[in-house]
Amino acid sequence: MPNLYKIAARATGRVMSSLSRHAPASKRTFSDLPADVHDVTVPTRHGPVRVTVYRPSGATASTPVHVNVHGGGFVIRHPRQDDAWCRYLMTHADVVVLNVDYDTAPQYPFPVSLEQVHDVAAWAADPAREWDGSRLSIGGQSAGGSLSAAVARMSRDEGGPALALQVLHYPVLDMVTPMGRKPGGEHSKVPPPWMNRVFGLSYAPDAATRKNPLVSPAWGPNSENLGGLAPAVVVTAEFDALRDEAVRYARALEGAGVLREHHDVPGVDHGYDIMDRSPDVTAHVYSLLAGHVRQALHQP
């Protein structure tokens, strides 16, 4: 790929990142759900990271904790887009939720955001926290799902933190295969193909990085060694150009004995829950995911 194209893509990524605060808010809200919501600053190897804590009423030192990783193509920095989901999960799974405001590309390409999220998860697992960090899960949508899958692999390979569950909601799992070669990718509207190229070149600008198992766990041989990962729930969307790679990954997880469930959502595209185009479908999937988190973190 010509260097000029890469430069243009990264420049576009910088503009998109700088405008993140203007990204549309989620059309679904649960502002009526009572919660103690406050920000804390967590030290990481790449500097301090802001984390929004959603603490359910009645939470104690024995309440489990879930780390939420927002989407946005690794470029758009908009954790509040997940406010509705964090409130819902907090209430229906009875967990403390940590919503991570990680640094985004292209100013901070791979592995910065990944290592920040991993460090936040390790911080959350510390016994000194005000919740039970020994009962910990992680999850996210789109790019957040990719980062969650990578943290699960890092946690296995680096000896922690121990994760009870990983929730991968329409995740990005193959950044090697061009979007135009993915089923429906050339006609993708959410996001459009040009935006996917910007996201990919911003986060992982060179081909070698895109082949890294922490970037593309569903590509080629990267999905051959999944034993010992945290149990996973994978949700795919029927019309999503990323569906096939997530289906492949779910099958590989199943073969490794670490898949709890793969749920394919019919009739919707990438980001369906954020745009709330199918409220009944979103409610069903949120209930499903909260049930998995509750079961994983509250079981004896």
Catalytic residues: 142, 240, 270
| β-pair type (259-265, 49-55) | unpaired
Element (H, E) at 36: strand 36-42
Backbone angles phi, psi at 128, to 5 degrees: -75, -10
How many C-alpha atoms does 196 have within 13 Å on its Cβ side?
Answer: 25
DSSP conformation letters of 156-209: HHTT----SEEEEES----SSS-GGGSTTGGG--SS-HHHHHHHHHHH--SHHH
Q: How far apart are CA 297 and CA 56, in angstroms?
A: 15
Q: How many CB atoms lie within 10 A of CB 13?
A: 28
